[in-house]
Amino acid sequence: MIILYDNQTSGNAYKARLILHKRDLPYTRIEMDTDNGATRRPEFLKLNPEGRIPLLVLDDGTKLPESNAILAFLAKGTDLLPENAADFAQVLRWLFWEQYSHEPNIATVRYWITHKIEMTQYRKLAIEEKRTRGVAALGVMETHLAANDFFAAGRFTIADIALYAYTHVAEEGGGFDLTPYPAIRAWLARVAAQPRHISITA
């Protein structure tokens, strides 16, 4: 059976949990206490030297880290990942963008706040820049969604799962009020209305 090393508060781990549920794939979930260094212990570092979750371990022992790689693997051969080359490339575009422009800003600030991470001098200096960049990322999303129901291929794909994960909890990071983004809010509702949706706390 598939094993998912998970953390319930992590948006990246939620991506894996959500697609596993959507595909109705049986798996064993192992909660990792990231606040107390569970992913930095030698036994876990043998599985993933990066010391991060989520980590998917397949039946044959193959280990697959990185949330968007997990999404792509589990979506292959389904409507969640288009076969058409142009649509496939657009999905990849948003997966890469999410990890480069969205997650490092919106997710990081949320993590610092919700996990009560010590506000060092570096974090005090970084937090406002991350909020600025996060707001810019939301602006990019709003512009795209004003003209599109979903992010790629004209339908719900893993690009939407990837971006939904941290966008729908962005306000937990403070400074990311979604009220000025009607297209994003409408998209969030469309994503939540998709079959076999579960919440991040499920």
Q: What are residue 28's DSSP bridge partners? A: 3
Mean of pLDDT values over 36-57: 97
Mean of pLDDT values over 30-56: 96
Mean of pLDDT values over 59-84: 98
Residue 69: which pLDDT band, with cuts at 50, 70 and 90?
Answer: very high
Give this prediction's pTM.
0.96
Q: What are residue 155's DSSP bridge partners? A: 152
Residue 125: which pLDDT band, with cuts at 50, 70 and 90?
Answer: confident
Range of the domain at 132: 85-192
Residue 199 lies inside a defined structural domain of this protein? no
pLDDT tens profile 3-35: 999 999 999 999 999 999 999 999 999 999 999
Do 96 and 186 lie in one domain? The reply is yes
Residue 80 lies inside a defined structural domain of this protein? no
Do 101 and 184 lie in one domain? The reply is yes
CA nearest neighbour of 164 among 147, 135, 185: 185
Burial class (CB in 10 A: 0-12, 13-18, 19+), 152: buried
CA nearest neighbour of 108 among 121, 93, 119: 119
Tell me how far apart the alpha carbons of residues 47 and 50 are, in angstroms, rounded to a whole number. 9
